[in-house]
A = this chain, B = another copy of it.
Amino acid sequence: MHEGRFIETQVAAIRGEVGDGLAINALSGGVDSSTVTLLAHRALGRKLKTVFVDNALMREGEPQRVARVFKRLGVPVEVIDARRTFLDALAGITDPERKRQVITDTFYRDVFGKAVRESGARFLLHGTILTDIEETVAGIKRQHNILAQIGIDPERAYGYKVVEPLRTLRKDGVRKVARRLGLPAEIVGRIPFPGPALATRIVGEVTPPRLATVRAATAVVEKELERSRAFQYLAVLLNDCATGIREGRREFGQIVVVRCIDSRDARRASVRALPWKTLARISRRITAIPGVNRCLYDLTPKPPATIEYV
A interface vs B, CB < 8 Å? 96, 203-204, 238-246, 250, 252-253, 255, 257-258, 271, 273, 276, 279-280, 282-283, 287, 293-306, 308-310
Known: A252-B96, A271-B280. A243 touches B296 (CB 8 A): no
Contacting A309 at CB < 8 Å: which of B243, B282, B297, B303? B243
Docked complex Cα distance between A309 and B309 (Å): 21
B residues less than 8 Å from A310 (CB atoms): 242-243
- The binding surface of chain A is classed by DSSP as strand
User: Do B293 and A296 touch (CB < 8 A)?
Assistant: no
Q: How many chain copies?
A: 2
Q: Is the CB of B279 within 8 A of A299?
A: yes
Known: A203-B242, A242-B309, A308-B243. A297 touches B294 (CB 8 A): no
In angstroms, Cα B305 to Cα A245, docked, is: 6
Q: How far is the CB of A40 from chain B (nearest CB, A)?
A: 34
9 contacts between A and B (CB under 8 A): A203-B242, A204-B240, A242-B309, A243-B310, A245-B305, A246-B304, A253-B305, A283-B300, A293-B304
Cβ contact of A293, chosen from B241, B297, B305, cutoff 8 A:
B305
Looking at A242, A245, A252, A258, the one whose CB has the most chain B CB atoms below 10 A away is A242
With a cutoff of 8 Å between Cβ atoms, the chain B residues found around residue A245 in the complex are 302-306
Instruction: Determine the chain B residues whose CB is within 8 A of the CB of A271 once the complex forms.
Output: 280, 283
Instruction: Give Cα A299–Cα B238 distance, bound, in whole angstroms.
Output: 15
| Bound complex: CA A232 to CA B227 (Å) | 34
Docked Cα-Cα span, A66 to B271, in Å, equals: 39
Closest chain B residue to A307 by CB distance? B243
Do residues B242 and A240 form an inter-chain contact, with CB atoms below 8 A? no
Residues on B with C-beta less than 8 A from A308 are: 243
> How far does the alpha carbon of A100 sit from the alpha carbon of B282 in the complex, in Å?
32
User: Given the complex of chains A and B, what is the CA–CA distance between A224 and B271 in angstroms?
Assistant: 19
Closest to A299 in B: B283
Known: A238-B238, A243-B309. A299 touches B296 (CB 8 A): yes
Give CA–CA (A137, B240) in the complex, Å.
32
The chain B residue sitting closest to A273, CB to CB, is: B276
A295→B299 contact, CB < 8 A: yes
Contact A243 B298 (CB under 8 A): no
**Which B residues touch A273, using CB under 8 A?**
276
Bound Cα distance A308, B244 (Å)? 9
**In the complex, chain B residues whose CB is within 8 Å of the CB of A253:** 304-305
